[in-house]
Amino acid sequence: MVSRKKIIREIIREYRTIWSLGVSGSLMGWDQETYMPPKAVKERSIAGSSIAVLSHQLLLKPDFVQLVERASRKRNLNDVEKGIVRVLKRSIDQAKKIPPEHIAEVSKTTTLALEFWKKAKAQDNYDIFKPYLGKIVELMRKTSEYLGYEIHPLDALLDLYEEGLTTKDVDGMFAKLEPGLKKVYDKIMSEHPVPDKHPLEDVHYKAESMKRLNEKALTILGYPWDRARLDISAHPFTIGIGINDVRITTRYEGFDFKRSLLSTIHEFGHALYELGVDQKFMATPVAGGVSLGVHESQSRFWENQIGRSKEFVESFYPYMKRYLVFLRDHSPEDVYLYFNTVRPSLIRTEADEVTYNFHIMLRYKLEKMMIEGSLSVDELPHVWNEEIERLLGVAPKNYSEGVLQDIHWSMGSIGYFPTYSIGTLLSAQIMRKIREEIPDVDEDIRKLKFRRIRKWLREKIHRHGSVYPPKELVRRALGMDLEPEIYVSYLEQKYLSR
């Protein structure tokens, strides 16, 4: 039982239907990305939006809202009870503040915008997408007005993805990160401690062998196959249907095998978070990961801190060689270098650990300007190109390499990008903390034994679900806030003291 208090038990009982609708929505979403026949898309979207409307109505049912209100005024709530009330109050507030007509307009606009973004990207023609982006910026500014903010209109949107996050936080984070990161980057570019390109990037693999290798990696890392799945989708993702039903996907592009392996390990990190939530929280509002930033810290931890480490790559090498026979011509050290090339890529999703955050800084800066009205969609591509050249020293040759590359803005997701950086930075802090508490952790990784690491993550982060707001959870787990310098020194250590 998650609570002895009558009012909390009542809330959870009422909430169960909303939770169940969420389960069906998630399952339908997972199915749509994996096995649904393509022509089912129209029927599925009717069903999906009806479920969303129903769930919205139940959340705003006066009895339920009153119950949550009453509970929030109680003084003797414990942490879990407070968490349940906080999560529900937040959803109710958001749902109340934004009028249904606005939600409908956003949904209509983004559905169209997504189609025109795809077309614009395929034809490398920004003008096709521009009017829709303009409309989306306008709608998101309105969303932010509805939600309310103290200092900057982007604050209200940041908070949607990362509870409590403000432009002040993100400005501070990047101000601390940029100079150090730039120094590391410039040094790597002049000294070349790792290659900028590797021949294995062009070597082709068979999807069937790659699948077996991914499964092997997941098993070694500790993926519980009786509570989780691995499937294929165009864009890899993780979805938590419940604490004991978490599903990840990967893709097989047929070449550059580390992309499939590391993206599988990345999603494993997301999955482990959802799977590690306290079983007592089943079917309650606190049963999932607390925020996108904390979620990304888990995926980046497994992808970068483990998956790209020398200990892991070299110890996992015999398995890689077993399934991918072309690796016979490459030493473990060489495969490690292949996993850790650094180069100024123009494409965010192909960026390495060193350059990745520059891509986020760029997007955040432009989002902030667009939302405050100091940058128009007409000027956007030009400013994009200038800024990426300032950061990385390379300029896009076309729109697809520049302003049209990401899907996010077409879906109305403005304010989402910073969570990627938060997660990446946190993952290095988590590793540092684990190393303090488990000094011989590298030995574990070398032996491909991950029990102690999984236990640490579950104990400090996973089991709490959404009980604590993200900033508080980080402080509890790490004893400190986000510290961008730790990421910079991680990079220095890894790339410049080889």
* Min separation Cβ 296 and Mg ion, Å: 5
Using rule CB under 5 A, residue 427 touches Mg ion: no
Calculate the alpha carbon distances from 329 to 102, 154, 324, 334 in Å.
58, 51, 11, 10
Q: Do 419 and 300 form a contact (C-beta atoms < 8 A)? A: no
- The residue at minimum Cβ distance from Mg ion is 299
Q: Which residue has the tokens 């096709």?
A: 128
Minimum distance, C-beta of residue 18 to Mg ion, in the bound complex (Å): 25
d(CA 228, CA 237): 13
84 vs 265, beta carbon nearer Mg ion = 265
- Catalytic residue check, 267: yes
Compare residues 83 and 269 and give the one whose CB is closer to Mg ion: 269
Stretch that binds Mg ion, among 108-116, 257-265, 293-301, 395-403 (CB under 5 A): 293-301
- CB under 5 A: which stretch of 247-255, 292-300, 302-310, 344-352 binds Mg ion? 292-300
Question: Which one of residues 299, 357, 413, 424 is an interface residue with Mg ion (CB under 5 A)?
Answer: 299
The DSSP code sequence of 325-361 is: GGGGGS-HHHHHHHHT-----S-GGG--TTTHHHHHH
Residue 298 interacts with Mg ion (CB under 5 A): yes or no: no
Q: Which are the contacts of 199, defined by CB distance < 8 A and separation ≥ 6?
A: none
Q: For 264-281, b where at least 16 C-beta lie within 10 A, e where not — what string?
A: bbbbbbbbbbbbbbbeeb
Give the shortest CB-263-to-Mg ion separation in angstroms. Answer: 9
Q: How many residues bind Mg ion (CB under 5 A)?
A: 1
* 116, 119, 123, 129 alpha-carbon torsion, rounded to 10°: 10
- Residue 35 buriedness (CB in 10 A; 0-12 / 13-18 / 19+): exposed
Rounded to whole angstroms, the Cα distance separating 230 from 325 reads 23
Min dist CB 236 to Mg ion, Å, is 8
Q: Stretches 26-34, 295-303, 382-390, 489-497: which one binds Mg ion (CB under 5 A)?
A: 295-303
- Distance in Å, CB of 295 to Mg ion, minimum: 7
Which one, 198 or 266, has the nearer CB to Mg ion?
Answer: 266
What order of strands is seen across the sheet that includes strand 238-242?
Answer: 228-232, 245-250, 238-242
Q: Which is nearer to Mg ion, 269 or 285 (CB)?
A: 269
Residues 83-102 that bind Mg ion (CB under 5 A): none
Name which of 299 and 357 has its Cβ closer to Mg ion.
299
Q: Is the dihedral of CA 161, 166, 167, 172 positive or negative?
A: negative
Question: Minimum CB separation from Mg ion for residue 274, in Å?
Answer: 12
Per-position DSSP letters for 9-24, written without gaps between them: HHHHHHHHHHHHHHHH
Q: Which is nearer to Mg ion, 300 or 471 (CB)?
A: 300
Report the nearest approach of Mg ion to the CB of residue 291 (Å).
Answer: 12
Q: Which helix (H) or strand (E) holds 283?
A: none
Contacts 24+ apart (CB under 8 A), 62-70: 63/14, 64/11, 64/14, 64/15, 65/92, 67/7, 67/10, 67/11, 67/14, 68/11, 68/92, 70/7
* Cβ distance to Mg ion smaller for residue 8 or 265: 265
Q: Given 81, 162, 163, 267, which residue is catalytic?
A: 267
Q: Footprint of Mg ion on this chain (CB under 5 A)?
A: 299
Catalytic site positions: 267
